[in-house]
Amino acid sequence: MNDLNGKIAALLRDFAAIQKSKQTMWGYKRAAAAILALEQPIESLLQPDGTLRKIPNIGPSSTRIILEVLQTGTSATVERAIADSGQTTDIDRRRNLRGHFLSRAEVVAALRNKKLRGPRLPDYHGDLQMHSTWSDGSQTLDAIVEGGLARGYQFCGVTDHSYGLPIAGGISMHQLFEQHRAIDALNEAHRGAFRLIKGIEANIRADGSVDMTREELQHLELVVAAPHSALRSTADQTKRMIAAVNTPGVHILGHPRGRMYGSRPGVAADWDRVFDAAEKAGVAIEIDGDPARQDVDYALAKRAVDAGCLFALDSDAHSTGELQYAETAIAHARLAGVPTDRIVNCWPVDRLLEWLSTRNGR
C-alpha cells in the first residue's frame, strides 16, 4: 500500500518531535492528526494550479511539507532538520513503532474494496469495548444507546475500567452495581431494539492474572482483559498473556499488545502460542480500532486467523464520536480476511449473549 496520508503524517510527527518550541510542536502534531483523519487520499486535494485545497488545522509550513512529499515522494526539509537535530536515534525508534497502522483514508478504502473478504459494515451488529462517564469516558449510558442505534447496532458492551486501574478512574464494585441498575432500566426501555451488555475492562497484572476475583467477574456479562503495564519492556511476556486467556470468565483479550502509534511497542510475546491458547480457551482476540492503537493489526490478525481464533472488533470509544473507531477495526479484519462468522460482533445478539453466558459459567 502506498499510503501518502500515513507517510506525510509520520513526517509531520517526526518534525514535531524535533521542534524546540512547544507551540510549533503542537502545530505539526495537529497537522499530522488532520492528515491521518482525512477521508480521502491527499493526492485528491491537489488542485490543477499545484496548490493544495484548504484543510482545517494545517498551516502554511505543514502545507509546504505536504507539497514537497507530493512532488518528490519525501521531504528533504524534514530529513535535513532531523539530521541536524542530533535526534536521529530517537526518530528512528519512533519510525519503527508505526508498522501496519492505517490512515483513515486507508480504512475507508478497505471498507469499500470489494475484492477483500471479511466483514462488511452492515455485518457488524455492535461494539464490545467502550468507556462511559462511570470511568474515564465522557459518554453517558444514554448517549451510548443513542450512538449505537444511530449506527444501526443491536448492542453495545459497556466496559469501564476495573477498580485495579485507578489512573483510568477504575469503577468500584459498589459503583458497578449502581451502573448495572442503570443498564437494566435502559434495557427495559429499549427492549427488542437495543441491548446494553454489562461489561468490564479488567486489567492484566504482571503475572497474567486479572485484577478482579472470580466471584466479582461473575457479576458481569462481558469481561475484556487487557494489559496496561510493562508495555515498553522487551522481555518476553508469552506466559503472562497465556495466563490471561486461560483465566476463567475472560471473553476477550483486549488490545493484546498495548502498543501506541509512534511511542511504544507494547507487549513482546510469541503471539502464535498466545493465539493457540486463546483458540483452545475460546477467548476472542480483539482488534482495537482506536487509531492510535490498531491492536492487533491486520498482519498479526492473519496469524490469529490461521490459529482458528475468534475475534472481537471494537472501538475502545471514550466518547460517542469515537464509536466510529470500530470501522478501523473492521478495515483491519477485512485486510486480514477474518471470516465473518468468527467475529463475535457479527453474531445475532442471542448467539452472542449465549456465548457470553456459557463462558462465565453461570
Q: Which residues bind Zn ion (CB under 5 A)?
A: 226
Q: Are the beta carbons of 151 and 198 closer than 8 angstroms?
A: no
**Closer of 82 and 226 to Zn ion (Cβ):** 226
Which residues, in sequence order, are CB contacts of 300 under 8 Å at separation 6+? 100, 257, 271
**Closer of 226 and 346 to Zn ion (Cβ):** 226
CB of 201 to Zn ion, least distance (A): 5
Phi, psi of 36 (to 5 degrees): -65, -30
Altogether, the residues listed in the chain come to a count of 362
**Closer of 257 and 334 to Zn ion (Cβ):** 257
Distance CA 202, CA 176 (A): 13
**Closer of 134 and 347 to Zn ion (Cβ):** 134
Q: Are the beta carbons of 193 and 149 closer than 8 angstroms?
A: yes
Q: Are the beta carbons of 39 and 104 closer than 8 angstroms?
A: yes
**Closer of 226 and 326 to Zn ion (Cβ):** 226
CB atoms under 10 Å from CB of 175, counted, come to 14
**Closer of 29 and 259 to Zn ion (Cβ):** 259
Radius of gyration of the chain (CA): 21
**Closer of 16 and 252 to Zn ion (Cβ):** 252
Q: Which triple of cell numbers denotes residue 116? A: 477483500
Beta-ladder partners of 58: none
**Closer of 109 and 176 to Zn ion (Cβ):** 176
Distance CA 52, CA 42 (A): 9
The residue at minimum Cβ distance from Zn ion is 226
If you count DSSP H runs as helices and E runs as strands, how many of each does the chain have, helices first? 14, 7
How far CA 299 is from CA of 257, 261, 325, 335, in Å, comes to 13, 16, 19, 8
Distance CA 61, CA 63 (A): 5
CB of 268 to Zn ion, least distance (A): 18
Q: Are the beta carbons of 102 and 6 closer than 8 angstroms?
A: yes
CB of 260 to Zn ion, least distance (A): 11
How far CA 160 is from CA of 40, 124, 315, in Å, comes to 33, 22, 13
**Kind and range of the H or E element at 148?**
helix 141-150
CB of 50 to Zn ion, least distance (A): 44
CB of 258 to Zn ion, least distance (A): 7
CB of 227 to Zn ion, least distance (A): 8
CB of 137 to Zn ion, least distance (A): 12
Q: Are the beta carbons of 268 and 233 closer than 8 angstroms?
A: yes
CB of 226 to Zn ion, least distance (A): 4
